[in-house]
Structure 1
Amino acid sequence: MTTTTETASARTPEHRSSGERVLPPLQIGPITVDTPVVLAPMAGVTNRAFRTLCREAGASTGHDPGLYVAEMVTSRALVERNVEALRIVTFGPEETPRSAQVYGVDPATVGAAVRIIAGEGRADHVDLNFGCPVPKVTRKGGGGALPWKRQLFTDIVREAVRAAAPHGVPVTVKMRKGIDEEHLTYLEAGQIAEREGAAAVALHARTVAQHYSGEAEWESIARLKEAVTTIPVLGNGDIWSADDAVRMVRETGADGVVVGRGCQGRPWLFADLAAAFHGETVRVQPTLREVAETIYRHGELMIDYFDGDEGKGMRDLRKHMAWYLKGYAVGGEARHALAMVSTRAELRERLDALGDAPYPGEAAEGQRGRAGSPKTPHLPYGWLDSRELDAEWEARLREAELSVSGG
């Protein structure tokens, strides 16, 4: 049986196009990314196992793969040397460049965390999270809520860049449009990040209030590109296919794309993306058997990621099953059994029982997971009253640093 990535590699030569590449390589500080595609950090998803599958898929086209960012890690957890936090910023020997994302609300703590990552050679690139819409983050003034406090945002970016600079590690910023349509911050934040030495900015073209609902407003990416002129601007939001990615950069002028939910259960999307950005027409359309082999490899990589703990690896794999099987003719009983798998042997047996079926076309494509509905942002009391912080708020934010990792 062939794996999905092997299939992508095998199909590429006979489907090659002579078309020109869509974008030049992406330059992030000293790092050149030949395929201007970034895997967005997603809590509980983009660990080393999943990043390996995505990277292998991208490389299967014969092109250098893109940039694959680890799960978000909190600055406090890193400074405290939390075991899980350190696991998150541990990369495989084949991962290059290594990319980590840091979240925090206190400039000194963020700076200290970046100093650990850069100074100890744990990653080659650090991304700062200013886009998370999750209530446990925004109610602390973090994620997508933070750029509203312009000086705090400035101080965090400045401290991170200063901490990373002596080690030649570029720092980038990922953000949303703002808290809601009445409290937009992305243009100002992009220009601040540019001024403070960030190597690139990425925009998820939704507000915190939108969460993942509705449609991403790609026009805002174009406006950010007009406002930020000396560093790359990357677009994020509603990229479900390689054709979406190409359309985004053509409509917005973005220098590259960031792909999140669109690759859940579809690591082979990075083969499509690499091909598309290099002007080729290859698209991976795996059979059910090929998907099953990818799931099994994912399971093996998960066990390795958790240091041989088979039970933990299988439990973490379960969330991916519905994403992988989207659109395929797999009955509810079989889906349930895979969602409850607890050993490698069970995984092998249940995958073998699926049999085979051709690629189901559009049924397997499009949006992954639940988009949900707009939500009232959870913010600290009085957060919107002023764009600035007073001394009391600064002290409260230092106490608000989350100790958890992974989002």
Structure 2
Amino acid sequence: MSRPFPPPPFKIGDLVIDPPILQAPMAGFTNAAFRQMVRDYGGSGLIATEMVNARGFAWMDEHAEEHPDRLWGVAEEARPLAVQIWDNDPQTMAKVGRRLVEEYRVSVVDINFGCPVRQVTEKAHSGSYLLRTPQRMFEIISKLVEACSPTPVTAKIRLGCSPESINCNDVAKVVEEAGAAALTVHGRTAKDMFRGHADWDRISEIKGHLKNIPLIGNGDLDSAEKVVHAFKTYDVDGVMIARACLGRPWLFSQAAAALRGDPVPPDPTLAEQRDCMLRHYQLVVDRFGEEKGTVLMRKYACCYAQGKHGARYFRTNVARVNTAEEFHRVVEEYFPSFSNEEVKAMS
């Protein structure tokens, strides 16, 4: 199917998403420091937090505890900004959604119906587990929509719980009927986790089952070229980039340029990527202190090195750092200095 190109901005409620490229909420990664790195490069029409456990938030609120670390930066940072929450109780979700709207002034409240991790699904009966019970999803969404009005509520789902129980078309109708302002679909089932390839044909098919709300596709978008292909080929209003942007916060600006028809900016040089990582590190340390911040940064540092020549040696060494001095020394000694292409050219 040939689609109009370039894709126009779309709306989530009254919020204009321009460019129509969203940054996915990712547990353990999309904290305030990472979001700032994405903003520095630009190109994302909507940025999202990590997913927040609504029940844990409510407990902290009732006991006058500090709100979750995953809400670090939310009150002060630039808008638009989406906060994603999860739980299976409509009342708890509505209560937390209202607090996010009133106290944090968020732009969008997103509901996670897609997480496939066992701790969320089998233990908490939340995330993608709820795809088994569309009526429960309806109750959660409708309660949140009422509590958060006029702030829009959105939902993120997978194709189904397993390849044998794909029900995304029916779930999409429920999501819209409950009052959600947009639907994001990851093109795998919960059972698939992140294996195999996202099924964009299935995602595109869902559009015919929606009446008015926009459809956002998610899965395997790891280059500007793939973002362009998704818009030209599939019936989606927006796309969401997830794992591919970890260690590559400039990916959004590259994709946005491609959608405009402008030359796609090249990846930053390895020296520039290293400097980007060090700025990211400083933001994390400023919030959590040297010890905790250094430990937290290990996983991000591995992402920045991924796919580069010598990445394995860097990962092995950065996984052991505990202080700023150790972190900077490992970066200086082991962060890749040559791309794989440069190494091939030299051999």
Normalised to the residue count of structure 2, the TM-score between the two structures is: 0.90
Give the whole-Å Cα distance in 2 for the aligned partners of 1:332 and 1:224: 41
Shift of 1:145: 1.6
Among the aligned pairs, what percent are the same residue? 35
For residue 117 of structure 1, what is the amino acid of its counterpart? L
Shift of 1:143: 0.9
Matched, 1:28 2:12: yes
Matched, 1:262 2:244: yes
Give the whole-Å Cα distance in 1 for the aligned partners of 2:28 and 2:305: 19
Q: Which moved more, 1:325-334 or 1:28-37?
A: 325-334
Pick from 2, 16, 26 the counterpart of residue 42 of structure 1: 26
Give the whole-Å Cα distance in 1 for the aligned partners of 2:235 and 2:264: 24
Give the whole-Å Cα distance in 1 for the aligned partners of 2:327 and 2:66: 26
Pick from 163, 168, 174 the counterpart of residue 181 of structure 1: 163
Matched, 1:129 2:112: yes
Q: Which moved more, 1:172-181 or 1:112-121?
A: 112-121
Structure 1 gap segments, 5+ residues each: 1-19, 60-64, 364-407
Matched, 1:335 2:315: yes
1:281 corresponding residue in structure 2: 263
> Runs of at least 4 residues of structure 1 off by over 6 A?
none
Give the whole-Å Cα distance in 1 for the aligned partners of 2:224 and 2:205: 23
SS in 2 for 1:126: strand
- Aligned pairs for 1:150-299 (under 5 A) are 150-165=134-149, 168-299=150-281
Query: Aligned pair in 2 of structure 1 residues 148, 361: CA closer, same or farther (>3 Å)?
Result: farther
Q: Are the aligned partners of 1:225 and 1:233 in contact in 2 as well (CA < 8 Å)?
A: yes
Matched, 1:141 2:125: yes
Q: Are the aligned partners of 1:303 and 1:312 in contact in 2 as well (CA < 8 Å)?
A: yes
2:88 corresponding residue in structure 1: 105
Give the whole-Å Cα distance in 2 for the aligned partners of 1:169 and 1:329: 46
- Cα deviations by residue, 1:206-237 (Å, 9 ceiling, x for unpaired): 11111110111101111111111301100001
For residue 68 of structure 1, what is the amino acid of its counterpart? I
Query: Aligned pair in 2 of structure 1 residues 85, 284: CA closer, same or farther (>3 Å)?
Result: farther
Q: Are the aligned partners of 1:47 and 1:70 in contact in 2 as well (CA < 8 Å)?
A: yes
Give the whole-Å Cα distance in 1 for the aligned partners of 2:154 and 2:140: 12
Q: Are the aligned partners of 2:310 and 2:336 in contact in 1 as well (CA < 8 Å)?
A: no
Shift of 1:142: 1.3
Q: Are the aligned partners of 1:234 and 1:258 in contact in 2 as well (CA < 8 Å)?
A: yes
Give the whole-Å Cα distance in 1 for the aligned partners of 2:181 and 2:342: 37
Give the whole-Å Cα distance in 2 for the aligned partners of 1:170 and 1:254: 19
SS in 2 for 1:353: helix
Shift of 1:362: 11
Q: Are the aligned partners of 1:287 and 1:357 in contact in 2 as well (CA < 8 Å)?
A: no
Query: Aligned pair in 2 of structure 1 residues 362, 34: CA closer, same or farther (>3 Å)?
Result: farther
Give the whole-Å Cα distance in 2 for the aligned partners of 1:333 and 1:208: 33
Give the whole-Å Cα distance in 1 for the aligned partners of 2:104 and 2:324: 34
Query: Aligned pair in 2 of structure 1 residues 356, 325: CA closer, same or farther (>3 Å)?
Result: closer
**More contact order relative to length (CA 8 Å, sep ≥ 6):** 1
2:330 corresponding residue in structure 1: 350
Shift of 1:239: 0.7
Query: Aligned pair in 2 of structure 1 residues 332, 241: CA closer, same or farther (>3 Å)?
Result: closer
Query: Aligned pair in 2 of structure 1 residues 254, 84: CA closer, same or farther (>3 Å)?
Result: farther
Query: Aligned pair in 2 of structure 1 residues 286, 173: CA closer, same or farther (>3 Å)?
Result: same
SS in 1 for 2:116: coil
Q: Are the aligned partners of 2:160 and 2:189 in contact in 1 as well (CA < 8 Å)?
A: yes
For residue 27 of structure 2, what is the amino acid of its counterpart? A
1:318 corresponding residue in structure 2: 298
Give the whole-Å Cα distance in 2 for the aligned partners of 1:187 and 1:205: 12
1:114 corresponding residue in structure 2: 97
For residue 32 of structure 1, what is the amino acid of its counterpart? V
Pick from 96, 107, 122 the counterpart of residue 79 of structure 2: 96
Give the whole-Å Cα distance in 1 for the aligned partners of 2:157 and 2:196: 18
Query: Aligned pair in 2 of structure 1 residues 201, 27: CA closer, same or farther (>3 Å)?
Result: same
Q: Are the aligned partners of 2:12 and 2:182 in contact in 1 as well (CA < 8 Å)?
A: yes
Q: Which moved more, 1:67-76 or 1:140-149?
A: 140-149
Q: Which moved more, 1:218-227 or 1:282-291?
A: 282-291
Q: Are the aligned partners of 2:274 and 2:335 in contact in 1 as well (CA < 8 Å)?
A: no
Give the whole-Å Cα distance in 2 for the aligned partners of 1:222 and 1:333: 41
Give the whole-Å Cα distance in 2 for the aligned partners of 1:355 and 1:174: 36
Shift of 1:99: 1.2
Give the whole-Å Cα distance in 2 for the aligned partners of 1:185 and 1:332: 40
Give the whole-Å Cα distance in 1 for the aligned partners of 2:300 and 2:210: 37
Q: Are the aligned partners of 1:200 and 1:233 in contact in 2 as well (CA < 8 Å)?
A: yes
Give the whole-Å Cα distance in 2 for the aligned partners of 1:264 and 1:21: 27
Q: Aligned Cα RMSD in Å?
A: 2.1
Matched, 1:67 2:49: no
